[in-house]
Amino acid sequence: MKKIILVYNPVSGDATFKNKLDKMLHAFQQRGCMLLLYRTQKENDDLFTAFVRNMAADGVLISGGDGTLHKIVNIMVRENIDLPIGIIASGTSNDFASFLEIDVNLSAYLDAVVAGTTMPIDIGVVGGEYFINVASAGMLTSVAHEVDVRLKNAFGKLAYYFRGLSELPRFRALNLTIDADGEIHREKAFLFVVVNSGIVGSLKNIAVNAKVDDGKMDLVLLKRCSIGDLMSVIAEIVAGRSLSHTPNVLYLQAEKFVISCDEVLESDLDGERGPKLPLEIQTLPAKMRLFYPADKTV
């Protein structure tokens, strides 16, 4: 009999997923599969590692937001836990799952998990820490870190937007140097994101050419521009239009990025605090396997 570990964050999003555990158990038992529950905690990653190894499971299903996904992916890669992962989006931000449209049909997705149907996915690594969706830095990097948990739970994604709007008066350009597979760019810029998928901050088409299995990451950099031009770019982003040919945006694809700044600048990895610049961002092609329906295309 197959066994799947369900790792769930009890406080992700509106904190209601924990009330659906019996329904999830029933759904897997109907499919002839046992579901083994693991509740996330802030500390003691060793307990999760021991649990996964002792249970001899066939995969790990992760319920939470991008932060929960980030944490579990990091543990699994560091501890060489070679099991496919699945995602049940239940956080405030679920960009990676949204890009792959995993939450469109939950029943079909659970079928794929039990059947063991997978696809390879790339991840990125920065200074020994892994990210599955985005590495970023710039004038809005601190927003995700400074939004209070209670505010996120009450207002969801709007909490990030409100906090971001309050930062606009403080926007200033940074001197960045980008090495993209040996191609050097020097730009005065407000911010950049290096992404695996095309969705960042619940905004679509941030990187229109992004694929999670192409062995590359996509960099989108917002150049210094006037307030009017900045608002035009923001309007394009909110409308979900491609930024690849926008004059005030630099769009690159590469297997490896080295990004430096002439001042101290903190990065963000999947919404969590990352290392300070300079960053050496390397793509790890097909590093993990993701449960995914065979009849869907990415």
Token couple for 196: 């695996």
149 with 71, same domain: the answer is no
| pLDDT tens digits, one per residue of 85-132 | 999 988 777 899 999 999 788 999 999 999 999 999 999 999 999 999
pLDDT higher than 70, residue 146: no
pLDDT value of position 154: 41
CATH code of the domain in which 41 resides:
3.40.50.10330
Residue 74 φ/ψ region, left for φ over 0, alpha for ψ in the -120 to 50 degree band, beta for the rest: alpha
10 cis-preceded (ω within 30 degrees of 0): no
Contact 68, 9 (CB under 8 A): yes
168 with 111, same domain: the answer is no
Say if 293 falls within a structural domain.
no
Tell me how far apart the alpha carbons of residues 91 and 88 are, in angstroms, rounded to a whole number.
9
260 with 137, same domain: the answer is yes
The model's pTM is: 0.87
pLDDT higher than 70, residue 263: yes
Say if 290 falls within a structural domain.
no
208 with 243, same domain: the answer is yes
pLDDT value of position 159: 38
Contact 7, 16 (CB under 8 A): no
Say if 297 falls within a structural domain.
no
pLDDT value of position 265: 92
For residue 89, the enclosing domain spans 2-122
Split into its structural domains, the chain has a count of 2
Contact 96, 132 (CB under 8 A): yes
pLDDT value of position 90: 83
Tell me how far apart the alpha carbons of residues 65 and 10 are, in angstroms, rounded to a whole number.
11
Q: What are the distances in angstroms from CA 124 to CA 9, 82, 141? A: 23, 17, 18
13 with 65, same domain: the answer is yes
Tell me how far apart the alpha carbons of residues 32 and 290 are, in angstroms, rounded to a whole number.
20
Mode of pairing for the β-strands spanning 256-261 and 33-39: unpaired
| pLDDT tens digits, one per residue of 214-258 | 999 999 999 998 878 877 877 777 776 777 778 899 999 999 999
115 with 174, same domain: the answer is no
Tell me how far apart the alpha carbons of residues 27 and 33 are, in angstroms, rounded to a whole number.
9
63 with 181, same domain: the answer is no
Q: What is the 3-state secondary structure (H, E, C) of the chain?
A: CEEEEEEECCCCCCCCHHHHHHHHHHHHHHCCEEEEEEECCCCCHHHHHHHHHHHCCCEEEEEECHHHHHHHHHHHHHCCCCCCEEEEECCCCCHHHHHCCCCCCHHHHHHHHHHCCEEEEEEEEECCEEECCEEEEECCCCHHHHCCHHHHHHHCHHHHHHHHHHHHHHCCCEEEEEEECCEEEEEEEEEEEEECCCCECCECCCCCCCCCCCCCEEEEEEECCCHHHHHHHHHHHHCCCCCCCCCCEEEEEECEEEEEECCCCEEEECCEEEEECCEEEEEEEEEEEEECCCCCCC
Token couple for 3: 């066994």
Tell me how far apart the alpha carbons of residues 96 and 220 are, in angstroms, rounded to a whole number.
17
pLDDT tier, 141 (very low <50, low <70, confident <90, very high otherwise):
low
In this predicted structure, which of 12-16, 222-226, 259-263, 266-270 has the lowest mean pLDDT? 12-16
What value does the mean pLDDT take over residues 53-63? 95
156 with 268, same domain: the answer is yes
Token couple for 262: 């002439």
- Quick one: how far is CA 31 from the chain centroid? 29
46 with 72, same domain: the answer is yes
14 with 155, same domain: the answer is no
Say if 294 falls within a structural domain.
no
